């Protein structure tokens, strides 16, 4: 989770092996304040049941293409979400997420949280 106002990493969650982002979010038991607005990508389709103040883009299907209004709404959501993607890109510079992790799995969460702390510290200076 990323704080939009300060561009800081607030919360991290991990799982062994491959796991979908939304499944990981549900399993982490992380809950948001009802007044907090969450901007997610289209992978978090069921988040409206967990958090009422969630904004996610509309998906198209073969039989139901997106209208111009839907495309414009998706574009505006993407513009607001670009900060999240920039933070993910900055964390990937450390190569812990972008490459295959070849060290002890028990230490992955510790190392990733240390990297998140370093990233947050760089923002403060």
- Taking alpha carbons only, the member of 31, 1, 5 closest to residue 13 is 1
Indicate the pLDDT class of residue 44, thresholds 50, 70 and 90.
Answer: confident
* Cα within 13 Å of Cα(32), Cβ side: 22
Full DSSP string of 79-97: HHHHHHHHHHHHHHTTSTT
pLDDT tens column, 75-120: 999 999 998 889 988 888 888 777 777 777 778 888 889 999 999 9
pLDDT at 64: 93
Q: Is the pLDDT of residue 40 over 80?
A: yes
Q: Is the pLDDT of residue 14 over 90?
A: no
| CA distances for 124 relative to 6, 11, 88, angstroms | 9, 17, 18
pLDDT at 75: 94
């Amino acid at each position: 989770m990323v704080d939009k106002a300060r561009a800081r990493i607030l919360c991290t969650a991990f799982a062994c092996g491959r796991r979908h982002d939304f499944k990981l979010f549900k399993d982490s038991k992380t809950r948001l304040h009802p007044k907090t607005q969450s901007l997610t990508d289209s992978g978090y389709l069921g988040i409206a049941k967990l958090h009422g103040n969630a904004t996610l883009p509309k998906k198209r299907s073969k039989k139901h293409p997106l209208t111009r209004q839907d495309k414009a709404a998706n574009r505006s959501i993407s513009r607001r979400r670009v900060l999240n993607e920039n933070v993910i890109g900055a964390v990937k510079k450390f190569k812990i997420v972008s490459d295959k992790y070849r060290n002890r799995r028990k230490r992955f969460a510790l190392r990733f949280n240390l990297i998140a702390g370093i990233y947050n510290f760089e923002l403060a200076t």
